[in-house]
Amino acid sequence: MASTETINTPPPGLQQAIPYLLSAGSAILSGISVVSRFFVALLSTTTRSILFFSPLPILLYVLAPVIVFFELVVDTFIRLPLGVTMYLLDAFYPVYVFCGVACIVGGLMGLFGRLLSKFVVDLVMNGYPPVEEVKPEVEDARPPRRHKRRKIKVEE
């Protein structure tokens, strides 16, 4: 029996570098995560100390009824009518498009029908256009009349 020999060749350079690239990517992501957590903690600490001395919570507590009233007014007079209008516009959009297209097509058909009928009439008339009456211009030798102004007397 013949024996087969297997040749062990080293893997290509890129295949050898894959574990190192994966480790480097993981280290970079870990560093970004640590830095972002630090900035979030710093920001939350800063805002907590600012809000501790801020009069904003007290103002919001006092103005809460006014804020709720304005939210109700805005919901009633702006958001609800706007929502209904948008719903109706969405519902009637196909009808609007259909009527618009019908008007445009009707106008174009009327225009082309008029042009076609004019062409056919001119063709049937064999080039005899309708005779237009020419009126001779007569100049008057008299000057134009001036109207006299009426005098109105007001009696007291």
Q: How many domains does the chain have?
A: 1
Full residue range of the structural domain in which residue 54 is found: 28-124
Question: Is position 112 within any domain?
Answer: yes
CA trace torsion 104, 110, 114, 115 (10° rounding):
30
Question: Is position 135 within any domain?
Answer: no
Q: Say what the pLDDT of residue 63 is.
A: 93
Q: Say what the pLDDT of residue 47 is.
A: 81
Q: What is the pTM of this model?
A: 0.39
What tens-digit pLDDT sequence spans the chain (156 residues)? Answer: 555 666 677 667 778 888 888 999 999 999 999 999 999 999 888 888 777 777 888 888 999 999 999 999 999 999 999 999 999 999 999 999 999 999 999 999 999 999 999 988 888 886 665 556 666 676 666 766 777 777 777 776
Question: Is position 110 within any domain?
Answer: yes
Question: Is position 18 within any domain?
Answer: no
122 Cβ contact list (under 8 Å, min separation 6)? 129
Question: Is position 49 within any domain?
Answer: yes
